[in-house]
């Protein structure tokens, strides 16, 4: 399956009389956009634009998306959500690169995030470096939280689809080609290189801890095989409300760096076979079932190595270690990508579960580390939830608007796909 990603580099996003893409600038007719995303469950929808370096704090952030549109090939980006569940991952897709659609709303309160467009907090989120079209969604009185989440999720998806259509006939600034052949052909293509598969753990642990595959709640699936290009074409979207630091937003799924890096090394020092997606479960029985099927699927692919990434912490650590232990028992080497909750002093146990076979681990950082965030001249959304957001605490918000919080509260700070801005120094 071959996919051509055609990147259009966005220079700016502005409101205008007509929605169009012109000379690298995305112009948005605000009223037309609002009409496109209106929902009777939402009492108020406001749209704003923020840019890197702005003295702006955005809170509480729900999801981040990137506009992509099919120009050739089957299906549509975000299949299964708008009446079409055809396979994606082939053909040509135009991407508006450098901008996002960013949704904001007080849904759960304690499991949304903060994005600072400038200052020290900006160093911990990739979305301080993008031009963001921000959509604030307030629910009607009495609406249950799970319906508010769905309304905000769909508003973000509709807005992203609306904006992406502006790029359908655009000439790309950059074209990237990715290909994975049918399994038997792929295995034979580089017989002398180690075969590697990516086990992609998706957050599915209860109400509003949802991820969707072709529009289906991943809680309902058994582990399955995907072409990597399907992920790039929007086959996976985020619907969850979990700690901001290691939530995989829809943007993260579209731009998964594990997939990008494996493609970059494909045919050079490894043979990238594909992706196994699996869920993260609540009960022990469900964890055992999914990890058994994950290990069986990996074994059937005949690979030599596996990279496993998780989403979330605590309970999902058990799924991570089960997957690791069972795959290693088959003689297949694993590398785990996670983050740590090691306490503010870094002295606590980093993961809720462990095993001697988990001996190759890449860390996204310690989510409990404290940071001081200065006041911003403008807040989009609501600053009050910063004291109850995971990573916040009573007294975190000062009278002048400054914050002392754990980086857990910053969207993408310790992302477990490695999509973050931290690294390690060796002394």
Out of 59, 137, 241, 245, which one is annotated catalytic? 241
Secondary structure (DSSP) of 21-49: EETTEEEE-HHHHHHHH--TTEEEEEEEE
Give the C-alpha separation, 263 to 255, whole Å.
12
Give the C-alpha separation, 88 to 70, whole Å.
9
Give the C-alpha separation, 231 to 42, whole Å.
30
Strands (E), 234-340: 236-238, 271-279, 305-309, 333-340
Residue 420's alpha-carbon distances to 30, 258, 299, 338, 414, in angstroms, are 31, 12, 31, 12, 6
Residue 293's alpha-carbon distances to 15, 279, 300, in angstroms, are 49, 11, 10
137 is annotated as an active-site residue? no
**Residue carrying structure tokens 């494996």:** 262
Give the single-character DSSP code of 120.
G
Task: Please list the active-site residues.
Answer: 241
């Amino acid at each position: 399956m071959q996919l051509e990603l055609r990147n259009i580099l966005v220079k700016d996003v502005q409101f205008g009389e007509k929605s169009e893409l012109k000379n690298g600038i995305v112009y948005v007719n605000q009223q037309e956009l609002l009409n496109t995303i209106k929902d009777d469950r939402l009492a108020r929808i406001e749209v704003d634009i923020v840019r890197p370096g702005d003295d702006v704090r955005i809170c509480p952030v729900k999801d981040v998306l990137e506009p992509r549109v099919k120009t050739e090939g089957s299906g549509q980006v975000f299949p299964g959500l708008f009446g079409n569940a055809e396979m994606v991952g082939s053909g040509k897709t135009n991407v508006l690169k450098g901008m996002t659609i960013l949704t904001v709303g007080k849904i759960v309160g304690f499991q949304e995030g903060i994005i600072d467009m400038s200052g020290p907090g900006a160093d911990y989120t990739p979305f301080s470096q993008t031009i963001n079209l921000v959509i604030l969604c307030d629910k009607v009185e009495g609406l249950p939280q799970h319906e508010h989440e769905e309304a905000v999720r769909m508003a973000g998806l509709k807005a992203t689809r609306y904006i992406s259509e502006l790029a359908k006939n655009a000439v790309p600034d950059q074209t990237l080609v990715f290909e994975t052949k049918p399994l038997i052909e792929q295995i034979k293509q580089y017989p002398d290189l180690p075969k590697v598969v990516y086990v992609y753990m998706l957050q599915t642990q209860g109400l509003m801890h949802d991820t969707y595959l072709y529009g289906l709640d991943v809680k309902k699936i058994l582990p399955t095989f995907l072409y990597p290009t399907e992920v790039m074409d929007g086959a996976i979207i985020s619907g969850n409300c979990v700690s901001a630091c290691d939530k995989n937003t829809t943007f993260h799924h579209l731009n998964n760096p594990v997939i990008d890096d494996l493609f970059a090394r494909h045919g050079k020092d490894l043979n990238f076979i594909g992706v196994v997606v699996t869920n993260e479960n609540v009960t022990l029985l469900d964890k055992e079932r999914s990890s058994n099927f994950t290990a069986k699927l990996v074994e059937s692919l005949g690979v030599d190595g596996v990279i496993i990434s998780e989403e979330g912490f605590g309970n999902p650590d058990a799924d991570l270690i089960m997957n690791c232990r069972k795959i290693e028992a088959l003689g297949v080497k694993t590398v785990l990508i996670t983050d740590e909750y090691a306490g503010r002093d870094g002295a606590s146990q980093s993961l809720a579960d462990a095993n001697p076979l988990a001996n190759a681990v890449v860390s996204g950082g310690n989510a409990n580390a404290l940071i001081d965030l200065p006041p911003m001249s403008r807040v989009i959304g609501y600053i009050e939830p910063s004291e109850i957001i995971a990573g916040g605490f009573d007294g975190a918000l000062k009278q002048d608007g400054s914050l002392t919080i754990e980086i857990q509260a910053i969207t993408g700070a310790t992302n477990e796909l490695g999509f973050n801005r931290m690294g390690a120094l060796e002394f």
